[in-house]
Structure formats: structure tokens, C-alpha cells
A and B are shown apart, each in its own frame.
Chain A
Amino acid sequence: MFAIGFLSELWRDVLASLGAAGTLASVAGLVYAIYQIRKTKSAAEAARVASEETRTLSRQDYQRYAVANAVQFIGELKAFVAGKVWERASLRFSDLAVQASQVANLQRPNDPETANQWEILADELRQWAQSCEKVLAGQIKFQQGKWTKLLPRLESMFHTYHGPFSLDDRGEKR
């Protein structure tokens, strides 16, 4: 065991000063480490925010794409129903169901209630697709009255999310 009793007062002061300097260096190191950790954390946070914003933008882009498709499909669907082209009408109802499901998925993180409404619409459109096949097979008559009620609702739901002043995926005005 090293004893310091034999050291002169000068050496004891020197050793004490070295100890104090070491403690100061440790504290400075700790402060620097905290600074570095904070810097890393804020960089990670910035990366997370950037990634979230990119995700939101790509979600909005995809929603615009899905809705633009749907608006085109509605136009074609109206023509197929008017012309009683049931096979193609069935296909367009299915296509619209897919687009409505996509909008539902895009809405779900921000607005689950609206997402459910879109999912209900998707289910309804799938039933319309099936019913067109039954009409084609001569099993049932096309439900003109129900179609007349569905069309404005369908157009209104998709048009709300279409165009420069429409709603984004958070249901807010662009």
C-alpha cells in the first residue's frame, strides 16, 4: 500500500491539485458526453421528423392519385350503367371499391371515423360489383333507384378529396 505520510507538504499540495484537476476533467468529459448525446438525439429527432414529413407527403400524393383514378372511374361507370354494359360496370365498381379502401387506409392513422366511412363505401361498392354480375346473369334487375341515390354520395365523397382546394389525408384544406 502506498503511504503518503512521508511526502512533504508541497508534494501533497501537488497531488491534491492533480486530483482536483482530474475531477474537473471528468466533469468536463461528462458535460461533453451529455452535449454529444443531446446532439445525436436531436439529429435522430430531426431525422424522425423528416421521415414522418416525407411519409405524409407521399401519403398525400398517393391519396391524390387514388382519388384522381376514382373520379375517372366514376365517369366511366356512369356511361357503362347508362349503356347497360354490366360486365364493365362491375369492373368499375370493383376498381372504385379498391380506391375507396386505399383512401380508408390513408385516413386511418389520422381519422379512424372517416376511414370507417370509406371502408363502408368500399364494401357497398363491392356489393354493387356483385350485383352487376347478377344482372348480367339475368338473376336480378339493376336497382336504378338505389343507384340514383348512391351516385351523388359517391361523387361527393371522392370530389371532397379531389382538386386544388380539396381535403388532404388529415381531412384538412390544402
Chain B
Amino acid sequence: MISDDEVRKFAVSLLSKSVNNQVAWERKNIPPDDPDFGSRKKTCYAVTFPKSAIQLEFTSPYAEPDFISFDILNDRGEFVRRWKVTDGGEDWNFVNQLYLDAERYVTKWDQVRDDLNAALASSGTIGTKAD
């Protein structure tokens, strides 16, 4: 059994690597038969290791606080540990930061922003025609 403290340590280490672009996050599709599927806005990011994986699942229920599930899986994709962190709880800030950083890595919004800034700061005509 992986304890809460160990899971928390994994999350902290993952965050410090993630902000340095050292975690290969991927977006994962949520299966439609998932029990929480009816909730609004549910996205999942995952990172896979040789014999395990970690996934972060953001759920925004209609009428309850948002939460992120920090899940640890084995190499067969089975859940080994689920750590649920709720908006307003003590671990929310850094787990939410980790989730947002995974989103940054996958969507590359930081690179998009830099690209736009560089283009808009340059003189002359900007942009290329899309063929």
C-alpha cells in the first residue's frame, strides 16, 4: 500500500520536474462509461513509466467542489492508488499547479504565447498564409 505521504512526495517531485519540462505528459481520453462522465469539464493527463503510470484527472461536478484525482496505475493500466484532492483542501494548490503544468506541456500554450509575442513585437508584415 502506497501511503498518502508517499503519494504527496511523488506529486511534489513530479511538479518540480514538470515545470522544467522533464515530464512527458500526454492527454488521455476519458471513457464514456466513466461514472463521473456526466460532470462538466473532465480532462486527464498521464505520464507513463516502464512498470507504472501516473494520471491526473480534473473533474468539475455541477454542484460540488472541483477535484483532481492523482492516480497511480500498474503496467496493465489497473489502479494501484487513487488520491483525490478537492478544491479548498490543503493539497489543492500544488496538485492543481501540477495539473495546470501538465496542461501547459500538452497544449504548448507557453510556446504559443512566446510565438505570438515575438511575432507582434517584430516590425513589418507578420504571419504566413495558410495554404
**Minimum CB distance partner of A139 in chain B:** B64
**A143 pairs with B38, CB closer than 8 A:** no
A141 at the interface (CB under 8 A from B): yes
On chain B, the residues within 8 Å of A124 by CB distance are: 62-63
Q: Is A134 an interface residue (CB 8 A)?
A: yes
A141/B88 in contact, CB under 8 A? yes
A146 partner residues in chain B, CB cutoff 8 A = 62-63
Residue on B with the closest CB to A120? B38
Query: In the complex, are the beta carbons of A140 and B38 less than 8 A apart?
Result: no
Contact call A123/B38, Cβ cutoff below 8 A: yes
B77, CB-defined interface residue at 8 Å:
no
Within 8 A of A (CB), among B28-63: 38, 61-63
**What mask results when residues 134 to 169 of chain A are scored 1 for a CB within 8 Å of chain B, else 0?**
100000110100100010000000000000000000
List residues of B whose CB falls within 8 A of some A CB. 38, 61-65, 88
List the 5 shortest-distance A-B pairs measured between CB atoms, nearest first. Answer: A131-B63, A128-B63, A124-B62, A127-B62, A127-B63
The chain A residues found within 8 Å of chain B, CB to CB, are 123-124, 127-128, 130-131, 134, 140-141, 143, 146, 150
